[in-house]
Amino acid sequence: MNAPIPRVSVLPQPYLLFLGDTTEASFAKTALGLAHWAPDQCVGEMALPGATVSTGLPRITAVEAGEAGAKSLVIGVANQGGVIPASWIDALVAALDAGLHIISGLHVRLASIPALAEAAKRNNRQLIDVRTPPASIPVGTGRKRSGKRLLTVGTDCALGKKYTALALYRAFQARGVDADFRATGQTGIMIAGGGMPMDAVVSDFEAGAAEVLSPDAHAQHWDVVEGQGSIFNPSYAAVSLGLLHGSQPDVFVVCHDPTRSTILGLEGFDLPTIEEVIDMTVRLGSRTNPAIRCGGVSLNTSSMSEGEAAQLLADESARLGLPVADPVRGGAPFDALVEACLA
């Protein structure tokens, strides 16, 4: 008999995106990702004096956001150390007083800040830490589940697994395919409104968490699962392998940054080749799904011109014998990748 299935968290939407006083766009990737992929769930942005980053959404107050229908303020900044500076506290308290819940993907727990805990209690609002997995996650069983699954995997971290999964999910839906995006990281969870924070799950329960995230479904349903880390990354391979075994993908897409030669933050380790990732993913993934196959490759060509990117995509597709696309650029290469995944 299977263990009881814990409920995957659902977040109160729509959102007001909080940018703090950040001046670095790279620190605001959560807010920028939400504005890009879930604009219909974002009523505007709020920032402190000195902030120079913007999502392009209307800049409004917490009170105005509540009047516009917002349910939560999302801390859209992932700063160094994952902390909440003292300069943010008054604005966050004001959001609670305006009737908004607060959602955070930072390492610091919101309730550990006395002023926020007191304001949340006073207003009967929630302080939601996205990096908190549900209780009672079962150990993975390896049982084959009904339905179909796609997992994005990578040669490294931070090179497009979330964007690729979201783009494929949207493309599946546009083709009339019944599909769900299954989020596994903080920004993905906020975009989807729920998910499983895989990097906060104890290692023994990674596969079980992935099984919970993508349960049995009807035969033609697709779960498009956001990948994490890389099975070749010395720091994060554990979460990647647990996600691979637990999600039991029928299809995987390899995500790669062609401008990168070494593992991010670990200069002594060369990046694996795309072929190595395909081979190892098939070998390890076939443990729980012997029918696993590679649907194609997603390249992050954001640093290239349109012409350079088009040539690289064509060359790599010919070399690998697989569809190769940049999902953000779209076009015929991406259409070919989508069709190969669904074939």
Q: Are residues 27 and 96 located together in one domain of the fold?
A: yes
Q: Which amino acid would we find at residue 198?
A: M
Q: Across all residues in the chain, what is the average pLDDT? A: 93
- 129, 159, 181: which is the final residue of a domain? 129
Question: For residue 146, how far is the Cα from the chain centroid?
Answer: 24
> pLDDT for 9-22, tens place per residue?
578 999 999 999 99
Residue 188, helix vs strand vs coil: helix
164 is a domain residue: yes
C-alpha–C-alpha distance, residues 225 and 218, integer Å: 17
- pLDDT band for position 81 (cuts 50, 70, 90): low
Q: Is the pLDDT of residue 92 over 80?
A: yes
| CATH number, domain containing residue 173 | 3.40.50.300
Q: Are residues 37 and 71 located together in one domain of the fold?
A: yes
Q: Which amino acid would we find at residue 212?
A: V
Task: Provide, rounded to the nearest whole percent, the portion of the chain with pLDDT above 70.
Answer: 97
The residue with greater pLDDT, 10 or 58, is 58
143 is a domain residue: no
Domain carrying residue 290:
148-342
Task: Provide, rounded to the nearest whole percent, the portion of the chain with pLDDT above 90.
Answer: 85
Q: Are residues 61 and 155 located together in one domain of the fold?
A: no
Q: Is the pLDDT of residue 76 over 70?
A: yes
Q: Are residues 278 and 216 located together in one domain of the fold?
A: yes
Q: Are residues 118 and 167 located together in one domain of the fold?
A: no
Predicted pLDDT of residue 96: 98
- 75, 96, 129: which is the final residue of a domain? 129
> pLDDT for 265-305, tens place per residue?
888 999 999 999 999 999 999 999 999 999 999 999 999 99
Predicted pLDDT of residue 39: 93
- pLDDT band for position 5 (cuts 50, 70, 90): very low
Predicted pLDDT of residue 243: 97
70 is a domain residue: yes
Q: Are residues 113 and 174 located together in one domain of the fold?
A: no
C-alpha–C-alpha distance, residues 164 and 160, integer Å: 6
Q: Is the pLDDT of residue 182 over 50?
A: yes
Q: Are residues 107 and 214 located together in one domain of the fold?
A: no
Q: Is the pLDDT of residue 107 over 90?
A: no
Predicted pLDDT of residue 1: 27
Q: Is the pTM of this model over 0.85?
A: yes
- 94, 129, 164: which is the final residue of a domain? 129
Q: Are residues 96 and 163 located together in one domain of the fold?
A: no
> pLDDT for 119-143, tens place per residue?
999 999 999 999 889 889 999 999 9
Q: Is the pLDDT of residue 7 over 50?
A: no
Over residues 304-322, the mean pLDDT reads: 98
C-alpha–C-alpha distance, residues 57 and 25, integer Å: 15
Q: Are residues 123 and 247 located together in one domain of the fold?
A: no
299 is a domain residue: yes
| 143-157, 169-183, 188-202: range with lowest mean pLDDT | 188-202
Q: Is the pLDDT of residue 4 over 70?
A: no
Q: Are residues 179 and 326 located together in one domain of the fold?
A: yes
C-alpha–C-alpha distance, residues 330 and 341, integer Å: 15
| CATH number, domain containing residue 112 | 3.40.50.720
Q: Are residues 213 and 326 located together in one domain of the fold?
A: yes
257 is a domain residue: yes
C-alpha–C-alpha distance, residues 137 and 340, integer Å: 34
38 is a domain residue: yes
292 is a domain residue: yes
The C-alpha R_g of the chain, in whole angstroms, comes to 20
Q: Which amino acid would we find at residue 53?
A: V
Predicted pLDDT of residue 3: 39
Domain count of the fold of the chain = 2
Which residues, in sequence order, are bridge partners of residue 335? none
